[in-house]
Structure 1
Amino acid sequence: MDTALSWRRIYLDCDELPIRHIDLSFGINYVRRPVKDGRRDMFRHCLEWPALLPTQLKDLVALLNEALVLPMTEEFDALLALDWYKIPDDDLPPEAWDNTEVGEMVRQAKYFVTNASRQRAARKDLVRRLADAMVRHPALNSAFYVVSVPGHQGDGTSTGELIAADLAARTGKTLVSTTGQPRPERKDDRSVDLVGMFTLPMKLDAPCVIVDDVYRSGDTIRQVARVARQAGAPRVYGLAAAKTIRS
């Protein structure tokens, strides 16, 4: 997404998804203007505010450039991942692809069980990056709750749940721990029916961010989002560290 900023206008080269994030963060307080002839080869949108641009708009636009703005679903108001898990390489089979920096952090946080200090350091780095993304995104940062996604063991100790707890502590938000029954991993068995498997311990009277380490098909995090809606959350946002290329 390419941008050009002036005192009242922002020019964007993107689809509608990033604009949805802007709307959620600042409201639709702008007017869409035609992009002038000299800029049509660079930009698709021109948004004009009646006064100065919102103070956090530049940071949000930079974040939306860096991160993955994931397609919206009916369960989420906005959905974001820090980066892909893998770096595609047409000359190699997918199992030989290198990890992105974020993907490697996730791998170490999940699987370095014989190196506890490295595992903790990787999780700390992921939490720092997720917190930075949240602070730069006014809509996500306005959420009162951080909601966890249960791991397949159902014991509250999955990497995603630990990251959600650490992120809530770092950002000063209230952690809501979703409970779930033990189940096969979704990457191994997609036939598992998740409906009715998750519960929240309380009603949600304010916006929430559902946090997970990896977004694959999205089936699990979307089911948690449905439960959050049923619990009363007026806005439901999703934030993941890494997105797999294959769902």
Structure 2
Amino acid sequence: MLMRVGFDWADLRWDRRGERVQKFVIAPGNPRGVALIVSCPDWIAEHIGAIYGAVCVPAPLTDDASKTYTHAFLFEGGAPAELEQVMETLSTVVTIPAPDYVDVAITLDFYNRPDDKGELERTAAGFWIFTTKYASQPTWSTSRDSRRKMIRALVDVIETHPLLANASAIITAPGHLADGQGFGEVLAREVAGRVGIPYIETTSPGPRPQQKETPQDLTSVFTVQGELSGAVIVLDDVYHAGGSASGAAAAARRAGADRVYSLTVARTIRW
């Protein structure tokens, strides 16, 4: 199911494309509480802080721990019951440095990833997109199976992630045809129905070039068709450079949201 393509890996610009929690330890032996010790980039530490900032504080690493880990958090009142499950989720999904107007950005995986020979290999998430969004025969069994797996994976992340599970609405960036039937729009409606979170329509004034082909500033283009409050998920299929996520997030904030989380199936690699 994975597809390999020839690629000069040395030319890839990989900086801050996104990462996973590399390793973590939940250590209950601290007399002040339970310590969470993590190896991850700063933006994932900020992601953890966004989830648990009300019940934990950053803590210094010991000299020995700093050789293997990068961040520590102290839960003085004890660890939340779901802490290990949440950390397993953050070890699986890819956290992206959040674009403008977005608090946390997550994707299931990259569209392609390098193999041990320096060539690109399509991930499962990339395969799901390739065999659904770009399928010549979307009713064939492979496409139907990919769609089921993609939706199940998105639902699982929403249901196990404390921030996403408590969102008040799901929106998405309108497709470039502005007809309400873009792949991401149909996907977001279906996922919203599965998790029981209201889907609120977002519109744009008319057809526009595809963002991946002609990057645009979309922060003033979209309009949410209703009032929002609290936290909102911007759910879409593919994350390119963050322009669509920023545009939808800006629209969500104009409509009343005070926190916005981006969730996508796959992130492309640019070079």
Match of 1:225 in 2: 249
Paired position in structure 2 for 1:163: 187
> Can you list the C-alpha shifts for 1:114-164, whole angstroms capped at 9, x where unaligned?
241433332221111011111221011110101022111111222211110
Distance 1:245 1:23 in 2: 27
Letter in 2 for 1:27: G
Partner residue of 1:106? 129
Q: Report the 3-state secondary structure (helix = DSSP H, G, I; strand = E; otherwise coil) of the residue aligned with 2:234.
A: strand
What SS class does the counterpart of residue 240 from structure 1 fall into? strand
Q: TM (normalized to structure 2)?
A: 0.83
Cα distance, 1:195 vs. partner?
A: 4.7
Q: Whole-Å Cα distance in 2 between the matches of residues 232 and 13 of structure 1?
A: 35
User: Which segments of structure 1 move beyond 4 Å, counting only runs of 4 or more?
Assistant: 89-93
TM-score between the two structures when normalised by the length of structure 1: 0.91
2:5 maps to what in 1? none
Partner residue in 1 for 2:40? 14
Shift of 1:25: 2.0
Q: Deviations over 1:31-63 (max 9, x none)?
A: 333222332211122212113211121111111
Alignment check: 8 A CA contact 1:30 1:50 kept: yes
Cα distance, 1:4 vs. partner? 1.0
8 Å Cα contact 1:32-1:47 kept in structure 2:
yes
In the superposition, relative to structure 1, how do residues 49 and 244 fare at CA in structure 2: closer, same or farther (>3 Å)? same
Q: Which amino acid aligns with 1:82?
A: L
2:110 pairs with one of 84, 99, 118: 84
| Number of residue pairs matched by the alignment | 243
- 1:183 and 2:208 correspond: yes
1:174 is paired with a residue whose SS is coil
Whole-angstrom CA distance in 2 between matches of 1:23 and 1:92 = 34
Return 118-127 or 99-108, whichever deviates more: 118-127
Relative to 1, partners in 2 of residues 1:23 and 1:33: Cα closer, same or farther, differing over 3 Å?
closer
Residues 215 and 242 in structure 1, CA contact (< 8 A), matched pair in contact too? yes
Provide the alpha-carbon RMSD of the alignment. Answer: 2.0
SS where residue 99 of structure 2 aligns?
A: coil
Q: Secondary structure at the match of 1:162?
A: helix
Structure 2: how far apart are the matches of 1:195 and 1:26?
A: 29
| Structure 1: distance between partners of 2:59 and 2:172 | 40
Residue 157 of structure 2 corresponds to: 133
Relative to structure 1, the CA distance from residue 115 to residue 209 in structure 2 (aligned partners, 3 Å threshold; closer, same or farther) is closer
The answer to whether the 8 Å contact 2:55/2:77 transfers is no
3-state DSSP of counterpart to 1:154 = coil
Bigger mean CA deviation after superposition, 63-72 or 23-32:
23-32
Matches within 5 A, 1:59-98: 59-88=85-114, 97-98=120-121
The reply to whether residue 119 of structure 1 matches residue 143 of structure 2 is yes
Q: Which runs of 5+ in 2 are unaligned?
A: 1-21, 29-33
